[in-house]
């Protein structure tokens, strides 16, 4: 029996039979024999075994059937072929019930042995194929559920985007319509309202573009040495009026070092801006928000923390998925696309960085983005 990639074990007190099996399996991957059940139990390594030949009647208390049960329990991948001196129906039924795949009656010829081994090999091939089919089925099911979730995402996207575009557009349209016949004294205010709408619309569109673009690594031509202190300070300055309007105190804590990372300045600024916007929006009147930069050997972090409403522990894992919003979109006070944190996550990943969050409902939230100082850009 050459060319068989089989690891074979035989347990029999009949030395002549073990010798016959040893010769028969000369071409096998391995052949190990034991002349007693206790010896087999003490020394046999079943992890990689394919076929075990077990004598049904062995001296020493342990019979082949209980050995078969033991083998199938500890190494289900092993096929057991029971060797019996008596070919009775009772013996056959007992062997199969114990978990044996086949049985051979003594004395048996080389051909008889080969037929039994062929059957085992064939069955093992079918089992392997079945495993492959099951794995393919599982893969298919996963792909299907991904497709379903992409479909759900598309629906969420369409419903949220509709609202988010309509609101600022209404401000622009309303402002311009009134402006047409408005007396001079009201013109500035109406122009201001229309401009606010235009700015909001611009923000929504920028978020969408940034989300789509930041799915890949930052291209080298867009990369530069970025000082995170300066970036954070620009974000804090830009958002100070928004924070004040929301009754939130926004502060900046610069690092004491030189937190310069290699990165895409616009993406990084947008990511920190999204975190700061959240810290203001999901806060309370009189609350506080802080952007803190830390410079460490080899890496730098930006933490945006707030004393706001917090996020329940069980909902933290969904953060960063596009269109994921803790409170139901239609019932909550704040609008938003649900893309801010997805942008933060993508931008961090594009810079080979990471995002972590700590939050306590009612007390506040802190998002930390960690960047390596070098090698963050593609190329
Ligand atoms: N600092 C925070 N405190 C409490 N909840 C937060 C905070 N940041 C994010 N969340 C929750 O996570 C959700 C997702 O945030 P994300 O920034 O992705 O979307 P959004 O703010 O709703 O909309 P967008 O940022 O696109 O305008 C928010 O809707 C909010 O429920
Ligand atoms: Mg947001």
Q: What is the CATH number of the domain that holds 193?
A: 1.10.287.130
pLDDT at 232: 97
Last residue of a domain, one of 108, 129, 160: 108
The partner residues of 252 in beta bridges, in order of sequence, read: 291
What is the rounded average pLDDT of the residues 12-29?
A: 94
Residue 166 belongs to domain spanning: 149-213
pLDDT value at residue 157:
80
Q: Can you say whether residue 320 is alpha, beta or left, with left for phi > 0 and alpha for psi between -120 and 50 degrees?
A: left
Task: Indicate whether 140 belongs to any domain.
Answer: no
What's the mean pLDDT when you consider all of the chain?
91
> Are 203 and 237 contained in the same domain?
no
Q: What is the whole-number distance in angstroms between the Cα of residue 294 and the centre of ligand 1?
A: 23
Domain-located, residue 139: no
From the CA of 306, give the closest atom in ligand 1.
Answer: 1
Report strand pairing: 354-360 vs 364-372: antiparallel
Nearest CA to ligand 1 atom 20: 338
Residue 220 banded pLDDT, cuts 50, 70, 90: confident
pLDDT surpassing 60 at residue 174: yes
Q: Please say whether the beta carbons of 68 and 80 come within 8 A.
A: yes
The count of domains in the chain is 3
In the prediction, which pLDDT does 11 show?
A: 95
Report residue 153's pLDDT band, with 50, 70 and 90 as the boundaries: confident
260 bridge partner residues? 227
Summarize pLDDT for 181-204 with one digit per residue, the tens.
999 999 999 999 999 999 999 999
Q: Mean pLDDT, to the nearest integer, of 309-320? A: 91
Strand ranges inside the chain, DSSP E = 7-11, 30-34, 51-55, 79-84, 102-105, 224-227, 249-253, 260-263, 288-296, 299-306, 354-360, 364-372
Point out the ligand 1 atom lying closest to the alpha carbon of residue 320: 18
**pLDDT (0 to 100) of residue 201:** 94
How many C-beta neighbours within 10 Å does residue 269 have?
A: 20
Predicted pLDDT at 139: 96
Do 226 and 347 reside in the same domain of the chain?
A: yes
């Amino acid at each position: 029996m050459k060319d068989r990639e089989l690891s074979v074990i035989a347990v029999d007190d009949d030395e002549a039979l073990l010798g016959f099996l040893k010769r028969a399996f000369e071409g096998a991957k391995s052949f190990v024999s034991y002349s007693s059940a206790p010896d087999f139990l003490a020394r046999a390594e079943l992890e990689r075994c394919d076929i075990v030949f077990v004598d049904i009647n062995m001296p020493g208390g342990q019979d082949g059937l209980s050995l078969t049960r033991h083998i199938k329990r500890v190494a289900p991948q092993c096929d057991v072929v029971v060797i019996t001196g008596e070919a009775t129906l009772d013996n056959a039924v007992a062997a199969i019930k114990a978990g044996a795949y086949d049985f051979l009656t003594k004395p048996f010829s080389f051909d008889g042995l080969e037929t039994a081994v062929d059957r085992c090999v064939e069955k093992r091939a079918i089992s392997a194929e079945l495993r492959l089919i099951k794995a393919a089925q599982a893969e298919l099911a996963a792909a299907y559920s991904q497709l379903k979730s992409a479909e759900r995402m598309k629906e969420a996207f369409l419903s949220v985007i509709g609202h988010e575009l309509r609101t600022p557009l209404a401000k622009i349209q309303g402002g311009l319509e009134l402006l047409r016949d408005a007396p001079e004294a009201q013109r500035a205010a109406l122009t201001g309202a229309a401009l606010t709408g235009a700015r909001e619309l611009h923000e929504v569109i920028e978020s969408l573009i940034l989300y789509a673009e930041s799915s890949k690594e930052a291209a080298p031509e867009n990369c530069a040495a970025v000082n995170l202190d300066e970036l954070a300070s620009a974000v804090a300055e830009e958002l100070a009026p928004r924070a004040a309007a929301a009754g939130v105190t926004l502060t900046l804590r610069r690092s004491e070092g030189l937190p310069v990372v290699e990165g895409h300045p616009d993406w990084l600024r947008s990511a920190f801006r999204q975190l700061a916007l959240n810290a203001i929006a999901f806060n309370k009147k009189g609350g506080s928000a802080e952007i803190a930069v830390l410079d460490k050997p080899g890496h730098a972090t930006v933490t945006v923390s707030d004393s706001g409403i917090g996020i329940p522990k069980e909902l933290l894992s969904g953060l960063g998925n596009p269109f994921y919003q803790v409170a139901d979109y239609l019932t909550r006070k704040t609008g938003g696309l649900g893309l801010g944190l997805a942008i933060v996550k993508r931008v961090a990943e594009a810079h080979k960085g990471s995002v972590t969050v700590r939050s306590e409902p009612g007390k506040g939230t802190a998002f930390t983005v960690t960047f390596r100082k070098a090698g963050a850009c593609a190329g």
